[in-house]
A and B are shown apart, each in its own frame.
Chain A
Amino acid sequence: MRAVVAFLAARLARALVAVWLVSTVVFVVMRLSGDPVPLLLPPDAPRSEYARVAKELGTDRPLPVQYGVFLGNALRGDFGRSIHFRQPAAAVVFGYLPATAELGLTAFALALVIAIPIGILSAVRRNSLIDQLTMAVALVGQSAPTFFVGILLILVLSLKAGWLPTSGRGGWAHLVLPALTLGAFAMASIARLTRSALLEVLRADYVRTARAKGLRERVVVIKHALRNAAIPIVTITALQFGTLLGGAVVTETVFAWPGIGRLAIQSIYNRDYPVVQCVVFLSALLFIVINLTVELIYGVLDPRIRPR
């Protein structure tokens, strides 16, 4: 048990260093991107007005001081006030978070529900027509650019067929296309991995034994094989969940989905760096929490790889 705690502590320390590095880079990049003050003022504003706003934002102080203030505040969850929305950046980001969470979770659920049965079917019926077909689609899905998947889906399912709305957030119908787009890459990866993990296990001796005992094929596949194939599947699945965050930036832009990905892009254009920093911080944190969770699940699933 103590070994597990030490292991987790080491991982956690590395993760925190990663979050710190990421926020520092983003701080530097955003401060280099230009002075936000003129964006807030009319072009003919007097110098005194400029100085007042700069003081209010803290941009009149030297960069190292600004950095210190930023780090200190970030630790308390305070990212400053959004320049564009004129309210605390964290509040703005949390306002947009539910839309991204809704999209991300739906995409992920969709990917799982579609990909795992396909992967199982492909493995069980290896080299059948359905296997070849679904794996060809998965290969394309893995290489296809997210933004173009979105455009194609809009073109075919909403403009030509007229089944679903093209953009915006509303009822479940608005959710289908963005979730499919965002989930496409994860879906393809999970399907391929489920297939290969299961194929690997189906060759094992204990599967032959189970069959020899006269168990029905369904029981052999689901109870004996799938359980042992679970570890790589869970890993890749969870890591895919982390990458969904990056995909959300593009997907939300294509579908005008009001989530934090689109917010981040708009904030970069608005030089609203408190908001950008908050989004980046939050994404890095989420990604790291997910990865740590995966390692924990790993230990639960397979006692052999628990750190000793």
Chain B
Amino acid sequence: MASSIPASVPADAAPLAAPSGGRVARRTRRLALAGGAFVAALLLVAAAAPWLAPHDPIRQSLRARLAAPTLEGADGRAHPLGTDHLGRDVLSRTIYGARVSLIVGFAAVVVGGLVGATLGIMAGYRRGWVDTTIMTVADAQLAFPFILLAIGIIAVLGPSFPTLVLVIGLSGWPGYARVLRSQVLVLRSREFVDAIHALGGTVVRIVARHILPNVLSSVVVIGTLELARSIVLEATLSFLGLGIQPPTPSWGGMVQEGREYLDSAWWIATFPGLVLMLTSVAVSRTGDWLRDLLDPTLRGE
């Protein structure tokens, strides 16, 4: 259902052995470094939001409504990215919005990763009906636009932070499950597994000590790509009014609020949207690079 939400990003051209290959690889690395640096900076900004934001992100100011980006607003203060329809500072709101995006994104990745990895390893290790059941459910979930299910669930449970994390997290589990299942299928048939069994090793021990370390790099790679998808899905749900509720600033919600004023006050929707887009690009670039580095076999998954 990748839909609006990028599914795991399809493969780029394989690194070529051609003379220019080194240059391409260097460029990819530089791009990934830039992406990683961006994400690190964003994390810092989110953590330090109270000190960095020039204004209170939810304080309204009727005198300073819909001010264009300015260093000297009607209230005598700087609004480098303008103010919204309630006179709130767009820069401060964008800075605080990073918190929502990152917290929901990371939490969702943890939820999806735990569920997906557990089910994937179970399917690959136990095979048989366990495998069939898990993979049928995964296929079913991938078979239709998840956003509809997400909207339905949120409409039932009401939009809240835990609901959002759960829904976004669960939207991603088939990605992990499918990849880990096929890796575990291969690992399981290797001789060392039989050897440990013969020596009396328990299944739990085999999985924890020998299977898990072998698939960990895949989990990290998928997790990074999932982070980009989760952040975008959170923003999309917030845009539809189903994510983090106002007045808490979130990028998707800000774009939604700014949409009505697009003609007269373009900055309200544009700046948070651009930051969201940059974040998504930066995180998925980092994921692509990690994939090439740690686990090139995941290309095209």
Contacts and interface: CB of A to CB of B under 8 A. Distances in A.
Interface of A: 14-15, 17-19, 21-22, 25-26, 29-30, 32-34, 123, 126-127, 139-140, 142-148, 151-152, 154-155, 159, 185, 189, 192-193, 195-196, 199-200, 203, 232, 236, 243-251, 253, 264-265, 268-269, 276, 279-280, 283-284, 287-288, 291
Contacts of A264: 148, 151
**Interface secondary structure of A, over-half rule:** helix
B151 A142 contact: no
B235 A246 contact: no
Given A18-B139, A143-B284, A193 B10 contact: yes
B148 to A, nearest CB: 6
Contacts of B14: 196, 199-200
Given A155-B262, A253-B240, A246 B4 contact: yes
A288 B1 CA distance: 12
A160 to B, nearest CB: 8
Contacts of B262: 151, 154-155, 159
Contacts of B236: 145-147, 250
B155 A148 contact: no
Contacts of B5: 145-146, 246
A195 B3 CA distance: 22
A250 B145 CA distance: 11
A192 B137 contact: no
Contacts of A232: 300
A289 to B, nearest CB: 11
B24 interface: yes
Contacts of A284: 140, 143-144
A41 to B, nearest CB: 20
Interface residues of B, number: 57
B273 A269 contact: no
Contacts of B270: 151-152, 155
B185 interface: no
A245 B144 CA distance: 8
B3 A26 contact: no
Contacts of B277: 140, 143-145, 148
Contact of B20 (A127, A203, A245, A269): A127
B4 A265 contact: no
Interface string B213-235: 00000000000000010001001
Contacts of A246: 1-5, 144-148
A294 to B, nearest CB: 13
Contacts, number: 182
B153 A29 contact: yes
Contacts of A18: 136, 139-140, 143
B239 to A, nearest CB: 5
Interface of B: 1-7, 9-14, 16, 20, 23-24, 136-137, 139-141, 143-149, 151-153, 155-156, 228, 232, 235-236, 239-240, 252, 255, 259, 262-263, 266, 269-270, 273, 276-277, 280-281, 283-285, 300
A25 B10 CA distance: 29
B240 A245 contact: no
Nearest to A135: B12
Contacts of A236: 10
Contact of A268 (B16, B140, B152, B232): B152
26 contacts: A26-B152, A126-B20, A127-B24, A144-B280, A146-B5, A147-B239, A151-B269, A151-B273, A159-B263, A185-B3, A189-B10, A199-B14, A232-B300, A236-B10, A246-B1, A246-B3, A246-B5, A246-B147, A247-B4, A250-B147, A250-B236, A264-B148, A268-B151, A268-B152, A276-B148, A279-B148
Given A185-B2, A279-B148, 16 more contacts: A17-B140, A21-B137, A22-B144, A29-B153, A30-B152, A33-B156, A127-B20, A139-B285, A148-B277, A155-B270, A245-B3, A265-B151, A268-B151, A280-B144, A283-B144, A284-B143
A261 B230 CA distance: 21
A22 B281 contact: no
A249 B20 contact: no
A200 B18 CA distance: 12
A18 B139 CA distance: 7
